[in-house]
Amino acid sequence: MSTLHLAILLPFVFVVIIPLLYKYTRAIHTGWIALLVPVTLFVYFIQFFSINKPIEPITVSVPWIPSIGINFSLYLDSLSLLFALLITGIGSLVVLYSIFYLSKDRERLNLFYAYLMLFMGAMLGSVLADNLLVLYSFWELTSVSSFLLIAYWYQRKRSRYGAQKSMYITMTGGFSMLLGFIILYVASGTLSIREIIAMGDVVSSHPLFIPAMFFILLGAFTKSAQFPFHIWLPDAMEAPTPISAYLHSATMVKAGVYLVARLTPIFGAQLEWSWTIIIVGIVTLFMGSFNALKQYDLKALLAFSTISQLGLIMSLLGIGSLALNPNYAPYSEYFIGALVAGILHLINHSVFKGSLFMMVGILDHETGTRDIRKLGGIMHLMPISFTLTMIGAFSMAGLPPFGGFISKEMFFTGVLDLASHSNGWAVIIPIVAWIASIFTFIYCMILIFKSFTGTYHADLLERTPHEPPFGMLASPAILAILAIALFFFPGLVDTSILEPTVKGMAPSAQLFIDEPNWHVHISAWHGPTLELFMTIALILIGVFLYLKIEKWKGPLFELLPKRLNLFTLYDKALVGMEKASTKITKTYMTGSTTHYLAYIFTFFILVVLITLFGTGSFIFDTSQDSPLEWYELMLGIATVIAAVFVLFSTSRLLSIISVGVIGFTVSLFFVIFRAPDLALTQLVVETISTALFLLCFYFLPKMKASVESIKFKLTNAIISICVGVTLTLMGLTAYGYRVFDPIAEYFSNSYKLAGANNIVNSILVDFRAFDTMLEIVVLFSAGVGIYTFIKLRYAGRNE
């Protein structure tokens, strides 16, 4: 097993270790133990990073299910290294931040950090996996772990609602993605992503290639909160702020972006891939930035801003994928720039959004509210917090001297290039992008100035505002410094990350064929370009609209119907499905055992009879049977008479005796067929059970209803007869088939194999020993569970 495999397994090991150590380390904050994991992993991954040269791809594999070609294969290149550094780097800062944010006296920190480690390991597995099924396994594990993290404060209704909503949507997309993966496997014969990329021509010729593409895009769009699947992200803000800073800015919501980037070499040449991503991304960008304006909760504002920024990144990846299409080959140089911008903005977004989420958490922690209507006038009380918030917000708005300015300018370049090298309606895209950027500028101004400037409302705040401890400021301060460094030193990532990542995403682009020595060069200043004038215009218009926001914001949003939105549609659909399922369930869940048995037996009869006669499987061959003796026939008739007598008996005593007669006649069959040990066992069991039945029924009250008073139901009679006939036909068919050699020949050698003279005992004790052991394990596990439920007491927690 390689060190890459161990890096992924390390967080899962701590999922077990942290709860075990929690009981003995309550004197310290559990976060200090958890911090060892992301820091260790970040140090491990940073050794692969070099400013001056790209990483040499690394491939390692461990057999998992080799019989069907599933290996635990990992692939580390510039793209996966970038995500690994974000997962572990931002993860380290988030854990450090949470140590000071979460109280070790009031929170269940053992569960919090166990869930966090589970998510971290799942994300690392997702971005490093080379096998499609391994990727899918980790992908779904991110949904499960994020569900646990969002529902961390499970006593809150909104937390449970947000967790369920995120899991419903993301896991539905995950199933769709799995279907796409299966089609890729059928088309290529391999589960390796690198091998599928190498077989691009073969895979793209498969008739289900386009459906597979859309299935996979559905998974990516649901995970990265793209329109119309974005509705889970705002409700996920019910999670603690460290979770929001980690999952919903830097990691989980970027999983869909990673999937699109990783599979672009496979699907990028298809216009359906490119334009679907472009259109969905631009719509998401506009919709997210527009809806962010009407939010009063700062975390809700950041949630919609995250949706908007993810749409921006997606649209850039879609534009960049056009470089792989033969129709756009002459313009591949322009579209490659969009790929560079997409990856750069992914880095910038992780930096400034992680910082902003932490700063909003600080505001909530120190003032007791995130409502901008209650905040204001606290800049002089929290000057450091104001400065860090301003850096993050200005970088998100795309202003200099912050890293977001460079990638936003490159975004404008990308949409302008798309409009100039496409036909017709594509000219709308830069217009929509520019308007969405104005909205982005406005909500960034709201975030800064509505929170820190204006009138101070001391009576509306739960706590007196003051600066938080240094430990809580350290993480957002580091990210703020990175936001500035990415503006002045963009060369930190151009050669090492951006260039090899883009070349890996578009290996067949005409640009790289014509210019194999092409390099990425990023600078903050490009002269008086159209993009710069677009930025100046959006700042001027944005400032004007912000100053007049009270005059136009209310009337604008009042024009929109409040009930006609996807959030309401989801709730109504959920309620509708619950009502429909309840109505359907009540039609067959009547509370009657007779009805339930009727359903079960009817289904059994139909399935068995259709299988027997529909496939021609029924066989009734008596040619090899020995002749039936008169005493065997008499015993059979006696057994049937006793069974029928049980049904029509008016006395419990006679019914019990009749059941006993059935058992004793069966034991006589064992004697006739030379199985004395079974006969003896049957006689003992029947004797004891009959005696116990008589003893128990002696103390029961007399029967209130006689057999004559019970109404005859033809339906029940038909079902009963059909069940008997079906079982008889099954037995005759099973007897008539000899697919394999009789197993009796193997067990007849039991003395040599197991040293036993009694074949039956040998089968039970020796040949079935492993099965018996598993049965005992199941019983033991059930016993432990029952004991736990009896002994433990639920400890309630105040909301």
pLDDT in tens, 133-179: 999 999 999 999 999 999 998 888 899 999 999 999 999 999 999 99
pLDDT band at 312 (very low <50, low <70, confident <90, very high): very high
Please indicate, yes or no, whether residues 309 and 204 belong to a single structural domain of this protein: yes
- Residue 53 CB: number of other CB atoms within 10 A? 10
Phi, psi of 261 (to 5 degrees): -65, -40
Contact between 165 and 567 under an 8 Å Cβ cutoff? The reply is no
Please indicate, yes or no, whether residues 634 and 533 belong to a single structural domain of this protein: no
Whether the pLDDT of residue 382 is over 70: the answer is yes
Q: For the residues 620-626, what does the mean pLDDT come to?
A: 73
Whether the pLDDT of residue 699 is over 80: the answer is no
Q: Is position 446 within any domain?
A: yes
pLDDT of 798: 44
Which pTM was predicted?
0.80
pLDDT of 705: 53
Please indicate, yes or no, whether residues 425 and 529 belong to a single structural domain of this protein: yes
Q: Is position 568 within any domain?
A: no
pLDDT band at 562 (very low <50, low <70, confident <90, very high): low
- Distances in Å between the alpha carbon of 760 and those of 70, 74, 285, 676, 751? 41, 50, 72, 11, 11
Q: Write the pLDDT tens digit of every residue in 392-422.
A: 999 999 999 999 999 999 999 999 999 998 8
Residue that finishes a domain, picked among 688, 714, 739: 739
Please indicate, yes or no, whether residues 663 and 538 belong to a single structural domain of this protein: no
| Residue bearing the bigger pLDDT, 670 or 480 | 480
Residue type, 752: K
| Cis check: omega of the bond before 500, within 30 degrees of 0 | no
Residue 673: DSSP 8-state: T
Please indicate, yes or no, whether residues 540 and 637 belong to a single structural domain of this protein: no
Residue that finishes a domain, picked among 739, 765, 789: 739
The alpha-helical segments, DSSP class H, found in 224-331 are 232-235, 241-247, 255-267, 271-292, 298-321
| Residue bearing the bigger pLDDT, 619 or 319 | 319
Report the alpha-carbon angle 81-497-336, nearest 5.
125
Please indicate, yes or no, whether residues 236 and 109 belong to a single structural domain of this protein: yes
Q: Is position 93 within any domain?
A: yes
Please indicate, yes or no, whether residues 267 and 412 belong to a single structural domain of this protein: yes
Task: Return d(Cα 6, Cα 1) in angstroms, integer.
Answer: 7
Please indicate, yes or no, whether residues 536 and 629 belong to a single structural domain of this protein: no
Q: Is position 603 within any domain?
A: no
pLDDT band at 708 (very low <50, low <70, confident <90, very high): low
Please indicate, yes or no, whether residues 436 and 333 belong to a single structural domain of this protein: yes
pLDDT of 303: 93
Residue that finishes a domain, picked among 509, 531, 547: 547
Please indicate, yes or no, whether residues 341 and 472 belong to a single structural domain of this protein: yes
Q: For the residues 78-106, what does the mean pLDDT come to?
A: 91
pLDDT of 793: 56
Burial of 238 by CB count in 10 Å (0-12 exposed, 13-18 middle, 19+ buried)?
buried
Contact between 289 and 397 under an 8 Å Cβ cutoff? The reply is no
Whether the pLDDT of residue 110 is over 80: the answer is yes
The alpha-helical segments, DSSP class H, found in 155-254 are 157-188, 193-198, 200-204, 209-223, 232-235, 241-247
Q: Is position 557 within any domain?
A: no
Q: Is position 535 within any domain?
A: yes
Whether the pLDDT of residue 275 is over 90: the answer is yes
pLDDT of 352: 94
Residue 62: DSSP 8-state: E
Q: Write the pLDDT tens digit of every residue in 510-560.
A: 888 888 888 888 888 877 889 999 999 999 999 999 998 888 887 887 777
Tell me how far apart the terminal alpha carbons of the chain are, to the nearest angstrom: 45
> Which CB contacts under 8 angstroms, 24+ apart, belong to 589-597?
594/716
Q: For the residues 643-650, what does the mean pLDDT come to?
A: 82
Residue 129: DSSP 8-state: B
pLDDT band at 436 (very low <50, low <70, confident <90, very high): very high
- Distances in Å between the alpha carbon of 703 and those of 504, 710, 716, 745? 81, 12, 22, 52
pLDDT band at 797 (very low <50, low <70, confident <90, very high): very low
pLDDT of 799: 43
Please indicate, yes or no, whether residues 497 and 642 belong to a single structural domain of this protein: no
Structural domains counted in the chain: 2
Residue 252: DSSP 8-state: G
pLDDT of 563: 65
Question: Which stretches does DSSP call E strand in 236-319?
Answer: none
- Distances in Å between the alpha carbon of 108 and those of 29, 30, 36, 241? 11, 10, 19, 15
Q: Is position 185 within any domain?
A: yes
Element (H, E) at 58: strand 58-65
Whether the pLDDT of residue 706 is over 90: the answer is no
Q: Average model confidence (pLDDT) for the chain? A: 88
pLDDT of 710: 60
Q: Write the pLDDT tens digit of every residue in 183-231.
A: 999 999 889 999 999 988 889 889 999 999 999 999 999 999 999 999 9
Of these ranges, 64-78, 206-220, 658-672, 692-706, the one predicted with the greatest mean pLDDT is: 206-220
- Distances in Å between the alpha carbon of 12 and those of 35, 119, 406, 537? 14, 9, 38, 50
Phi, psi of 418 (to 5 degrees): -60, -45
Burial of 6 by CB count in 10 Å (0-12 exposed, 13-18 middle, 19+ buried)?
exposed
Contact between 425 and 342 under an 8 Å Cβ cutoff? The reply is no
Q: For the residues 240-250, what does the mean pLDDT come to?
A: 86
For tokens 């009879």, name the residue: 609
91 token code pair: 């993860």
Sequence length of the chain is 799
Please indicate, yes or no, whether residues 166 and 38 belong to a single structural domain of this protein: yes
Which residues form the domain of 218?
A: 3-547
Whether the pLDDT of residue 93 is over 50: the answer is yes
Whether the pLDDT of residue 26 is over 80: the answer is no
pLDDT band at 796 (very low <50, low <70, confident <90, very high): very low
Q: Is position 604 within any domain?
A: no
pLDDT of 544: 94
